[in-house]
Amino acid sequence: MTSDIPGLTVAQGGSVLRIQLNRPDKRNAIDDTMVAGLINTIVEAGTDESVRVILLDGAGDHFCSGADIVKRNGGDGKRPRAGSIQRRLPAQAHRLIPVMLESQTPIVCAVRGWAAGIGMGLALAADVTVVADDARFWAPYCSRGFTPDAGVSWLLPRRIGEMRARRMLILGEQIDGHRAAEWGLIERSVPSDAVTSEAEKVAGELAAGPTVALGLTKWLLHSGQSAPFDAHLRNEAFAMELSSRSEDFREGLSAFSNKRRAEFTGR
């Protein structure tokens, strides 16, 4: 599975689909074409049985400095008409983050340098995010005179608590990768030169895992954020029914009985 999308490099190696933000001269600032490409690629990966995990990273020294708001707001000489934001967001950034959260394909994110604005949103929406100790997370919205988007004001307090989220969203506090891991904003931080290898290791572990069970567990975690307890229990029963019908379930039982390591095929 490969795609030719301006600003993105998409390539598949085995069962791992790698999506790289590729505008290093702009610190990988995301434009509308890239958002559409990310949405389409992740949706397509979710229905491609050869893809068992997605690895998302950025070219160069930075993961993503946010949305290319200069280009969007008249930097090309064309100022959008009033109301363009509320018309555009539901199909763009506000479509991308739910696609990441709802996809049953696990997503691993590797972050170096800046993860600002929607860049931080991508890191929050991934299932496992590995960051450099000296990476920089920043929610620059209020300091630029506007408000959060990409679900950041929903995701952030659920990850790090309301008070810490206020410090980042209202006061504009920047935190490094080490503190982000301490706060639970992301999964782990490592030295900068180990980010790629660690993220690839995690992606490899997920690619070799029980794909059906992993996808349904991801669904349960996301749907459980808003489902009443009784509804969540019904979802758990549904997921158990599906996963127990998979070939990987039978392999897991066989491996347990024979005291060996399971070899999952993703089916």
pLDDT for residue 158 is more than 60: yes
Q: What mean pLDDT is predicted for residues 6-12?
A: 96
**3 state DSSP class of 125:** helix
Q: Report which secondary-structure segment, H or E, holds 237.
A: helix 229-243
Triad 21, 25, 30: Cα angle to 5°: 40
Q: Is the pLDDT confidence value at 138 over 90?
A: yes
- Other beta carbons less than 10 A from residue 9's beta carbon: 15
DSSP secondary structure code for residue 13 in this structure: E
CB 248 within 8 A of CB 264: yes
Instruction: Write down the pLDDT at residue 1.
Output: 66
Q: Say what the pLDDT of residue 91 is.
A: 77
Tell me the CB-side half-sphere exposure of residue 119, using CA atoms within 13 A.
33
pLDDT greater than 70 at residue 143: yes
The yes-or-no verdict on residue 75 having pLDDT over 70 is no
Average pLDDT value over all residues in the chain: 93
Q: What percent of the chain has pLDDT over 90?
A: 86
- Whether 83 has a pLDDT exceeding 80, the answer reads no
- Say how far residue 40 (Cα) sits from the centre of its chain: 14
Mean pLDDT in residue range 50-63:
97
Confidence bin at 85 (pLDDT 50/70/90): confident
Q: What is the pLDDT of residue 68?
A: 81
64 has a pLDDT exceeding 90: yes
pLDDT for the residue numbered 2:
64
Please tell me the class of the 3-207 domain: alpha beta
**pLDDT tens digits, 178-217:** 999 999 999 999 999 999 999 999 999 999 999 999 999 9
